[in-house]
């Protein structure tokens, strides 16, 4: 199968590309993805391009970040379409390894996590998720040896986990955050949005509306606990099953009770029908 963009499937080929571009004096950007790409992913490639002459996008559905019963088998695998989209934003290389390339026989090493990975948010519902994320991201960062790597803010706890892991393990790649892209009605773009029925899709923006309103009210000085309670009521009223809707310290994800305790991020996860949606917004300073 041929594409309009070079595709490699093993680490040696990717490293050969990096060596050649480095020899030409160029900086390398990395955008790790699990495929099923949408405009949000492509914006990360464009962000990487602002910091590097060459951009590698990875397409790998990572089995270790899915718990038993989660949607690993259902997760869409659309490499041909993904490569077309990556070519449209002038990515330079796609790294699409097989599971055996990333986790060869005898693989037995993982990254142990504390800090933002143990914030009682995503980790409460998916206790092994960040172990899988951190392990595969550590491998990708070491494999590519990129100057910068870009991750989306939509998965905000994940972003902090990756930033912390790279800092603590002295991985020299600079971790950059790409802002969340949204549909015109405010719904955060996600590969899982395709699972929403038409009726659910019409109700889905209520999650974002509720947390945006909560952020504004907190910034205006209202009591955080009261505001968040009303936000949860609004989200439940729209038909969601809430997993969490929390105001946390934006840098550490520690619980926060008062506006002056630090920069605040509101993080939310809720299920609408069979689809679990994530979102987050900053409380204006």
Helix (H, G, I), strand (E, B) or coil at 221: coil
Is 228 annotated as a binding-site member?
A: no
Is 9 annotated as a binding-site member?
A: no
Is 158 annotated as a binding-site member?
A: yes
41 is catalytic: yes
Helix segments in the chain, DSSP class H: 11-23, 39-49, 79-88, 99-102, 122-125, 129-144, 156-168, 198-203, 206-219, 224-237
Is 155 annotated as a binding-site member?
A: yes
Is 197 annotated as a binding-site member?
A: no
CA trace torsion 64, 70, 76, 77 (10° rounding): 30
Nearest to 278 by CA among 201, 148, 187, 200: 187
CB 147 within 8 A of CB 51: yes
Is 34 annotated as a binding-site member?
A: yes
Q: Which residue of the set 9, 41, 129, 226 is catalytic?
A: 41
Is 37 annotated as a binding-site member?
A: yes
Is 35 annotated as a binding-site member?
A: yes
- Residue numbers belonging to the annotated binding site for (R)-pantoate: 65, 158
Residue positions in the annotated binding site for beta-alanine? 65
* Residues carrying an active site annotation: 41
- Which residue ranges make up the annotated binding site? 34-41, 65, 152-155, 158, 181, 189-192
Which residues belong to the annotated binding site for ATP? 34-41, 152-155, 181, 189-192
């Amino acid at each position: 199968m041929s594409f309009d963009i070079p595709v490699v499937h093993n680490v040696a080929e990717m490293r050969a590309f990096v060596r050649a571009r480095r020899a030409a004096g160029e900086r390398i950007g990395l955008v790790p993805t699990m495929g099923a790409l949408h405009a949000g992913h492509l914006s990360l490639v464009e962000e990487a391009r602002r910091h590097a002459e060459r951009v590698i996008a990875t397409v790998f559905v990572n089995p270790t970040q899915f718990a038993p019963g989660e949607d690993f088998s259902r997760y869409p695998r659309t490499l041909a379409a993904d490569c077309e989209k990556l070519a449209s934003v002038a990515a330079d290389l796609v790294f699409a390894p097989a599971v055996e390339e990333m986790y060869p026989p005898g693989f037995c090493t993982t990254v142990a996590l504390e800090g933002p990975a143990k914030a009682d948010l995503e980790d409460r519902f998916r206790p092994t998720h960040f172990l899988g994320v951190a392990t595969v991201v550590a491998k990708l960062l070491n494999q590519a040896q990129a100057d910068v790597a870009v991750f989306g803010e939509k998965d905000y706890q994940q972003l902090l986990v990756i930033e912390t892991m790279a800092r603590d393990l002295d991985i020299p790649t600079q971790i950059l955050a790409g802002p969340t892209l949204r549909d015109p009605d405010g719904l955060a773009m996600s590969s899982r949005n395709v699972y929403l029925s038409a009726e659910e899709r019409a109700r889905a923006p209520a999650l974002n509306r509720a947390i945006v309103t909560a952020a504004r009210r907190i910034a205006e000085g209202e009591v955080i606990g009261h505001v968040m309670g009303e936000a949860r009521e609004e989200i439940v009223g729209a038909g969601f099953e809430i997993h969490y809707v929390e105001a946390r310290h934006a840098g550490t994800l520690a619980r926060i009770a008062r506006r002056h305790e630090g920069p605040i991020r509101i993080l939310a996860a809720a299920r609408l029908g069979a689809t679990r949606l994530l979102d987050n917004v900053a409380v204006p300073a």
